[in-house]
């Protein structure tokens, strides 16, 4: 008889109620009839380090992290993957058998997988990218675009210094463009991404138009409430190919789930619907 304990994992944030991660991991656990639990865990910033050690002691295999822990966790981790280190944040934590804590970042991976799945003919190396925003999400996405071979990235951000810091961090392939010239900056870009919260339900929309955009530009948003943001709607009206942001959330969860529960899950329409209905 096996004496294996069923695996435990979860998502840690402060607050944690808004997180969709329990719904999607539990969907996969049920779908594949796997033993295990995935729980929401509220930890305030000052308790993150001690809280993670306690979870490891309780037998957790790992956790996902959400606001406000993604950056500060790097101070607690014993090992950090190259991509988490370059992005400067982690969203996936592994509690290793030797008691150490490993930090990884799968947000950029999730971003790319979403485009690969929903825009199969997307060619990152075909031209420059325009990234709107310069926060934590932009950092993961700029890293991912550069890793995929995008020749250069232009960043437009309301607060210019944040865009400049991002450009300095990633080097000469990344340049800053003026926030009030963001529509002009679509000219020549073959990948156009909104990484800001603009367009999210209850937020103002992003003031941009696609009159100058190439007809083969791919336009994507990280906002997924609503699924079709005004940004994507405007791109569609212009006849451009668009990919919504929900798939990034779903795909970033795959590596953690596989590592903790031992099965590589699929991202499909059934999962999308399960998450959309919550």
Where on the chain is the footprint of ligand ATR (CB under 6 A)?
Answer: 133-138, 157-159, 162, 195-198, 204
Q: What is the DSSP string of 18-47?
A: T--HHHHHHHHHHHTT---EEEEEE--GGG
By C-beta, is 6 or 159 nearer to ligand ATR? 159
- Sign of the alpha-carbon dihedral angle for 233, 236, 240, 241: positive
By C-beta, is 204 or 262 nearer to ligand ATR? 204
d(Cα 47, Cα 53) in Å, to the nearest integer? 10
- Residue 156 CB, shortest distance to ligand ATR, in Å, is 9
- Residue 171 CB, shortest distance to ligand ATR, in Å, is 20
- Residue 198 CB, shortest distance to ligand ATR, in Å, is 5
Q: Is 61 tagged catalytic?
A: no
Q: Cβ-closest residue to ligand ATR? A: 135
CA–CA distances in Å: residue 96 to residues 101, 106, 269: 6, 18, 33
Cross-strand partners of 38: 9
Cross-strand partners of 95: 101
Which two tokens mark 18? Answer: 């808004």
By C-beta, is 135 or 188 nearer to ligand ATR? 135
- Residue 201 CB, shortest distance to ligand ATR, in Å, is 14
Q: Which of 20, 61, 70, 234 is catalytic?
A: 70
By C-beta, is 92 or 195 nearer to ligand ATR? 195
Non-local (6+) Cβ contacts of 251 within 8 A are 106, 109, 110, 111, 113, 114, 117, 267
Catalytic residues: 70
């Amino acid at each position: 008889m096996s004496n294996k304990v069923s695996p435990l994992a979860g998502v840690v944030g402060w607050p944690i109620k808004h997180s969709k991660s329990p719904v999607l991991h539990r969907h996969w656990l049920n779908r594949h009839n796997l033993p295990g639990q995935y729980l929401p865990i509220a930890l305030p910033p000052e308790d993150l380090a001690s809280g993670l050690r306690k979870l490891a002691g309780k037998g957790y295999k790992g956790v996902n992290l959400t606001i406000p822990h993604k950056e500060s966790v790097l101070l607690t981790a014993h090992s950090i993957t190259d991509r988490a280190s370059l992005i400067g944040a982690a969203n996936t934590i592994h509690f290793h058998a030797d008691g150490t804590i490993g930090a990884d970042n799968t947000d950029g991976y999730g971003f790319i997988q979403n485009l690969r799945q929903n825009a199969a003919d997307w060619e990152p190396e075909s031209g420059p990218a325009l990234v709107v925003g310069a926060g934590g999400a932009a950092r993961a996405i700029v890293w991912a675009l550069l890793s995929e071979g995008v020749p250069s990235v232009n960043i437009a951000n309301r607060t210019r210094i944040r865009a400049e810091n991002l450009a300095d961090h990633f080097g000469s392939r990344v340049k800053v463009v003026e926030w009030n010239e963001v529509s002009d900056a679509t000219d020549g870009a073959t990948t156009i991404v909104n990484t800001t919260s603009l367009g999210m339900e209850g937020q103002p929309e992003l003031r941009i138009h696609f009159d100058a955009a190439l007809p083969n530009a791919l336009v994507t948003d990280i906002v997924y409430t609503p699924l079709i943001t005004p940004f994507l709607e405007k791109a569609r009206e212009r006849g451009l190919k668009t990919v919504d942001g929900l798939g990034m959330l779903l795909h970033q969860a795959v590596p953690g789930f596989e590592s903790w529960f031992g099965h590589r899950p699929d991202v499909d329409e059934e999962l999308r619907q399960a998450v959309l209905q919550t």
